[in-house]
Every structure is written in C-alpha cells, then in structure tokens.
Amino acid sequence: MKKIILLLPLLFISFFGFGQGVKDIDSTAIFILDKMSDVIGDLESVSFDLNNSNDKLNEDKNIEKQYSTSNICFSGPDRLRIRTEGTEGKKGYWYDGAYLSYYNFEENNYVTLEAPETTLAMIDEMHMNYNFDFPAADFFYPSFTDDLLGQFDSIKFLGKKTIDGEECYHIIAINKELNVQIWISDQTYLLPKHFVIIYKNNSNIQYQSTFSNWSINPNIPNSTFGFLPPPNARLISILKKS
C-alpha cells in the first residue's frame, strides 16, 4: 500500500494567500521538498509526536500563547488516531475508514460521525462541515510542493541549521500574508522536524510545531483506530456549519 497520504491539519492550505507577480523560486528548495514528499508518499504507516505553540489575540488585542502536545498515528489510506493535550484541554480523534469519533476527555462526551472512505477525504469533509482541526500537516499532501509554488511568491533554501541536535535543511516561503519556515531533518529519512507560520497581516502572530519520535512503518493493530466510549461517557450531537 504505497503512496499513502498522512494528513493531519490543514494548517497551511486553509490560510495560504495566493502569490502574484514575479516568482523567486530556488530549485534547491524545491528539490528538497519533493524528496520529503517522496519519502512520505512511500510510507505504509507512521507514528510521531507533535509539540505545538499557537499565538492568539485576546480581548485586549494582546498575544497569548497556547500549547499542546499530540501523539499521531496512521496506517494505510484509511486509519488515523490523534490524542492531543494542552491549553484547551485533552481530546482525541479515532478514524477507522467508516466513522470518525471525537472524544473530549474532560467533559467525558463524544460524537461519532459517518465519514468518507479515505483519511484525506475525511479530513477535508470534517474540517469543512464541523471545523475540526487535525494537528499538523499539509506537509503530507501529495500536492504539497505544488501548493507552495502556486501560492507563494518566494521559496528559498537558507542552508543547513541544527535543531535539537539534528542537522536540518531550512526553507522559507513568503507571500504578502505569510512567512512560512520549514526545517527538514537531514537524517536517514527526509522528514519534517519543525515549522513556523507567521501571519504578517495579523500582528505577526505565530503558529509553530516540532515533530519528534518518528516511528516508520510500525505494525499498528486496526483496533487502535476504533473508538470505545469510556464508562458513563455522554453521546452528543453537533450541527454542520451553515
């Protein structure tokens, strides 16, 4: 089962502005991004941890930082599990190819929704209909490099940098609205290590994530992706966005 798509937010594509005018594209940056996409496209399964920092403007227009840590795993084109804990509480998603279940640990309630047959289609539909945000990664869409090329005015390779002891390729993409910087690990596998999104038209607030503990092609039992409601958990209903 090759060319599987991982798929965990729509962090970039939801907010990308469209580039205009003359492009400044570095072929080395595009080569590295394509290589990363090739590695991810060959995955049969994967698990990793993700640490997020997200700026938000409060009522006084001051920046407040919110933090979360997620454990994410998927198998094949139709299995996904995410557990997230942070400033906004603890929650989880389970997708088994037919249904998506969302569970709020603190409120002990859940919802189970009929879902499309693939992870990518499920994420698109659930984000559009219910505003579910899956932590992190347009990186894993097959069209990732093409999306960058179509929507950013400048994409450049900034050399090698070290993050948490790992040597990484540093790439920056810029348009009128966003400054996006990506660090891709130069280890055995070319996998994303860190990224930052800076919203230039919104007080320069930032979203950033760090990937760690990658497990490549692990054997993950299908039962991992099925949701079993805890005792006394309350089934709730939610409405689609109008």
Beta-bridge partner residues of 156: 172
Predicted local confidence at residue 19, as pLDDT: 47
Q: Which backbone phi and psi does 107 adopt, to 5 degrees? A: -90, -10
The predicted pLDDT at position 30 comes to 97
pLDDT at 87: 92
Tokens (6 digits) for 48: 């990793």
List of domains in the chain:
24-235 (2.50.20.10)
Per-residue confidence (pLDDT) for residue 5, from 0 to 100: 34
Looking at residue 16, its pLDDT comes to 46
- Nearest partner of 213 among 52, 73, 81, 91, judged by Cα: 73
pLDDT at 143: 87
Return the number of other C-beta atoms located less than 10 Å from residue 200's C-beta: 14
Task: Per-residue pLDDT tens, the chain, 242 aa: give them.
Answer: 233 333 334 445 444 444 456 789 999 999 999 999 999 989 999 999 999 999 998 888 899 999 999 999 989 999 999 999 999 899 999 999 999 999 999 999 999 999 999 988 898 899 889 988 887 657 777 888 998 999 999 999 999 999 999 999 999 999 999 999 999 999 878 999 999 999 999 989 999 999 999 999 999 999 999 999 999 999 999 999 87
The pLDDT, as a whole number, for residue 241 is 84
Answer yes or no: are the C-beta atoms of 190 and 208 closer than 8 Å.
Answer: no
Look up the pTM and report it: 0.87
Which pLDDT does position 36 carry in this prediction? 93
Q: Which letter does DSSP use for residue 170 in this model? A: E
Provide the pLDDT for residue 20. Answer: 53
